[in-house]
Amino acid sequence: MSNFRTTEISDADAEHDGLRFITVKSNYLKGRGDICVFVPDEAKKSKDLPLILLLHGVYGSAWIWALKGKAHLTTQQLIQDKKISPMVLAMPSDGLWGDGTAYQSIVPGNFEKWIVEDVPTAVKENIPSVTVNSPVYIAGLSMGGFGALRLGATYPEKFAAISAHSSITSIEQMKLFVEEPLTHYQPVETEASSVFLTMQAQKDTLPPIRLDCGQQDLLINYNRELHNQLLEANIPHTYEEFEGGHEWSYWQQHLEDTLLFFEKHP
């Protein structure tokens, strides 16, 4: 029996490059939510494949990691080169409120639970190679980096590892990107507004963590600050800097680092 009142999934004969699309009616969203899923060719012969949640940034939606980030092509190439095992990507919308939801529980929806609960459930119900035994990983860019780091730390029992690119590290940085007032994003619990405070509160249960940022990125100093805070708090993590800005060419290149990192933490 499905956990959703309604589910729609794309027809196999209309799919391209392993991309599938799922729409479910979510109680957390109080409406419908979209998920773009990449299922590699190798999945047809496999069960219990790892599931990677890729969270997009502001202005984006379920299609953007694939059709601007080429995430499915990067993944398929790494699988073919035997650098990673076959894995499934789930690229959900953030809930599509305003310029971005920050993946928080705010009016008008619980965008946090949509990602953590509904997205993995919808994939497991519709993609046979992903099961209840599949390890789940979470990653994202910019606002999606904030979501990945914070949700991965908040629900450490659900995720095998966390990775983030060019991350917003505190909810106050949303004002650099969105027109909605910051009052819409203020969570009930103070630590939910900050990646560091969330990780500090969950220090003893965190899964493996990595993050990176481009040296020309407008968020580079915030990422450096988070790195130093984690060092001072003795919270294990991997931090890297590369050439590049807050742009798709950077994220296309460094998604590979995320997938290789996940491969090392089965």
- Tell me what the mean pLDDT of segment 74-94 comes to: 98
First CA to last CA distance, the chain: 29
| pLDDT recorded at residue 108 | 85
Handedness of CA 256, 136, 170, 55 (dihedral sign): positive
The pTM is what?
A: 0.97
* Percentages of the chain per state (helix, strand, coil), in multiples of 5: 40, 20, 40
Would residue 50 count as lying in a domain?
Answer: yes
* Helix, strand, or coil (residue 141): strand
Asked if residue 37 lies in contact with residue 91, where contact means CB atoms within 8 angstroms, the answer is yes
Asked if residue 159 lies in contact with residue 137, where contact means CB atoms within 8 angstroms, the answer is yes
β-pairing verdict for 105-106 and 109-110: antiparallel
For 9-47, the pLDDT digits (tens) are 999 889 899 999 999 999 999 999 999 999 999 988 889
> Is the pLDDT confidence value at 189 over 90?
no
CATH code for position 24:
3.40.50.1820
Q: How many domains does the chain have?
A: 1
| pLDDT recorded at residue 43 | 87
For 199-221, the pLDDT digits (tens) are 999 999 999 999 999 999 999 99
- Tell me what the mean pLDDT of segment 120-141 comes to: 97
Would residue 181 count as lying in a domain?
Answer: yes
- Tell me what the mean pLDDT of segment 156-160 comes to: 98
Would residue 2 count as lying in a domain?
Answer: no
224, 229, 198, 194: which is closest to 211 by C-alpha?
Answer: 224
How many CA within 13 A on the CB side of residue 44?
Answer: 4
Hey, what amino acid is at 114?
W
User: What distances in angstroms separate CA 105 from CA 39, 53, 189, one per listed residue?
Assistant: 29, 18, 11
Domain of residue 256 covers 7-263
Would residue 190 count as lying in a domain?
Answer: yes
Would residue 1 count as lying in a domain?
Answer: no
Mean pLDDT computed over every residue of the chain: 96
